[in-house]
């Protein structure tokens, strides 16, 4: 969220630049942008806000936003000073993100609770859920090992986001350098097994996710084939 705030600060900086004063306090020589340049400036600022905020589903009230822009550029008496404005923006961000996060948390809990009722699902003490698709009879890897695996990852809605099968070759991982859900799950698998992991977000990428790839509070579903253990 904090990097979103920086975008707002950049907008304030642009506004302050437009209304800057010289060293003796008087206004610098006024130079008016033409119609197209003025529009282009507004488009640039608006696009920056869209790219920075829309990813989180956050949009300002356009009428109030324009009032604030006009007061800032025109040097009019504003409702708040810039320090108060930043506090208000940050408080609003926190409230909106908290509301969004709670919805995602509730959805994840509901999925995991429903999935846990299936007879084929096993659950570890950490909350990792898994099912055995094929049981091998070889040794199990430890945290000190590397593994060669094929895997396919998707979200709980069935949307795929990663696959070694699609790339055409297996992946190698060190168990002590991967997310907790994978590290724990792979240690359950005898060599030659194929398991399906349901990795809760607190064993995966948590409340941050991976921007543009993994949303916050995402349970991840992985089909994993353990091909080789490398000491």
Which residues on adjacent β-strands are paired with residue 230? 146
Mean pLDDT (whole number) for 72-87? 83
pLDDT in tens, 2-11: 455 545 555 5
What's residue 105's pLDDT? 94
Catalytic (active-site) positions: 151, 161-162, 179, 205, 222
Looking at domain 118-230, does it have CATH number 1.10.150.120?
no
Q: How far is CA 67 from CA 18, 34, 72, 124, in A?
A: 16, 21, 8, 55
Within a 10 A sphere around the Cβ of 204, how many other Cβ atoms?
21
Q: What percent of the chain has pLDDT over 90?
A: 52
Instruction: Please give the pLDDT value at position 54.
Output: 63
Please tell me the chain's helix, strand, coil percentages from 3-state DSSP, rounded to the nearest 5: 45, 20, 35
Residue 51 host element (H or E): helix 35-53
If you average pLDDT over every residue of the chain, what do you get? Answer: 85
pLDDT of residue 115 exceeding 90: yes
According to CATH, where is 3.10.50.40 located in the chain? Answer: 118-230
Q: What confidence tens digit (pLDDT) does each residue in 150-172 have?
A: 999 999 999 999 999 999 999 99
Distance CA 213, CA 23 (A): 48
- Give yes or no for a contact between 149 and 171, defined as CB atoms under 8 angstroms apart: yes
- Summarize pLDDT for 22-49 with one digit per residue, the tens: 445 454 556 667 888 888 888 887 777 7
Mean pLDDT of the 191-219 span: 94
């Amino acid at each position: 969220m904090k990097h979103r705030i920086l975008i707002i600060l950049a907008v304030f900086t642009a506004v302050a630049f437009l209304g800057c004063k010289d060293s003796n306090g008087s206004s610098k020589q006024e130079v008016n942008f033409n119609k197209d340049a003025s529009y282009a400036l507004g488009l640039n600022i608006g696009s920056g806000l869209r790219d920075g905020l829309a990813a989180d589903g956050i949009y300002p009230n356009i009428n109030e936003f324009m009032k604030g822009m006009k007061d800032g550029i025109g040097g009019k008496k504003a409702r708040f000073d810039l320090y108060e404005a930043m506090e208000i923006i940050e408080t609003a961000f926190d409230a909106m993100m908290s509301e969004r996060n709670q919805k995602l948390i509730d959805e994840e809990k509901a999925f995991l609770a429903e999935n846990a009722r299936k007879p084929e699902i096993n659950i570890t003490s950490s909350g990792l859920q898994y099912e055995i698709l094929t049981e091998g009879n070889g040794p199990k890897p430890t945290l000190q090992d590397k593994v060669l695996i094929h895997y396919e990852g998707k979200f709980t809605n069935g949307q795929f986001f990663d696959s070694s099968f699609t790339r055409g070759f297996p992946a190698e991982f060190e168990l002590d350098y991967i997310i907790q859900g994978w590290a724990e799950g792979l240690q359950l698998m005898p060599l030659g097994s194929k398991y399906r992991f349901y990795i809760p977000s607190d064993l995966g990428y948590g409340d941050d996710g991976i921007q543009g790839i993994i949303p916050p509070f995402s349970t991840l579903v992985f089909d994993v084939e353990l091909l080789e253990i490398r000491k």
